[in-house]
Amino acid sequence: MNATSMQTGTRAAPPLAGKRILIAKPGLDGHDIGAKIIALALRDAGANVIYTGLRRSPAFIARIAIDEDVDAVGLSILSGSHNELVREVVGLLSGAGAAGIPVFVGGTIPADDRSALLAAGIRGVFTSEMPLADVVDAIAKVLA
């Protein structure tokens, strides 16, 4: 992971130092490069990142989030199934008394769905064209 560690080395403390973040791939979508890029970028920003790997059920993701006591969950979905899958994860988290864990979503999310997800309590919706620094800042702001 030399490519990423080279980028650190700034004087200020990394913005996500000490934060535990779960990056998860719910459903059957196999496009994992976005999730991996975000995982590497968050790690570079000081976070301790857990990546689930592909094809995880919402129940699995909610359980790991709680068991690992994470500070945030990032869901990556590019198959168009975000509305169903995101709501399921959020529902399971609050059902387990973990509604306080902020959930972020990344992927191919049309504008209408984006507003609906934000209204449903998702703390940030990111697309592939957003600069990584902006994604990291947005997460850091919520976790500050």
Partner 1 sequence: MKTSASEIPNDEVAIARPDATPSGLSVPVVARPDDVRADHDLIGEPGRFPFTRGIFPDGYRGRLWTMRQYSGFGTAEESNERYRFLLDQGQTGLSVALDLPTQCGLDPVDPMAGPEIGKVGVSLSNLAEMELLFDGIDLGRISTSFTINGTAAMIFAMYIACADKQGVPRERLTGTIQNDILKEYVARGTWIFPVRPSMRLIADSILYSNDVAPRFNPISIAGAHMRDAGCTAVEEMAYTLANGLAYVDAVVERGGDVAKFARRLSFFFYVHMDLFEEVAKFRAGRRIWARLIKDRYGVNDDKAQMFRFGVVCGGSSLTASQPYNNLIRVAIETCAAVMGGAQSIFTCAYDEAFQIPTEFSAELALRTQQIIGYESGIARSVDPLGGSYFTESLTDRTEARVLEIMAEIDAYGGSVKAIEDGWLQMRVAERALERKRETDNRERLVVGQNCFSRDDQAAQPGELFSMNADASRTVRERYDRLRETRNAGDVAASLQRLGEAAENAGQNLMPYLVDCCHAYATIGEMVACLKAQWGEFQEPAYL
CB of 8 to partner 1, least distance (A): 13
Binding region for partner 1 (CB under 8 A): 1, 3-4, 7, 27-33, 36-37, 39-41, 51, 53-55, 57, 79-81, 84-85, 108, 110-111, 127-134
- What whole-number distance in Å separates Cα of residue 33 and Cα of residue 26? 14
100 or 113: whose CB is closer to partner 1?
Answer: 113
Helices and strands: H and E segment counts in the chain: 6, 5
> How far apart are CB 100 and partner 1 at their closest, in Å?
25
- Residue among 52 and 72 whose Cβ is closer to partner 1: 52
Q: How far is the CB of 129 from partner 1 (least distance, A)?
A: 6
Identity of the residue, 14 or 80, whose beta carbon is nearer to partner 1 in the bound complex: 80
Give CA separation, 66 vs 42, 55, 72, in Å.
20, 19, 10
DSSP class of 14: P
- Smallest gap from residue 37 Cβ to partner 1 (A): 5
* Both structure tokens of 10: 């700034």
Closest separation in Å from C-beta 71 to partner 1: 19
Among 46, 47, 81, 50, CA closest to 64: 50
Residue 36 or 141 having the CB closest to partner 1: 36
Q: For the sheet containing 124-126, what is the strand order?
A: 48-51, 20-24, 72-77, 103-107, 124-126
Nearer CB in complex with partner 1: 54/66: 54
Identify the CA nearest to 73 among candidates 44, 46, 50, 104.
104
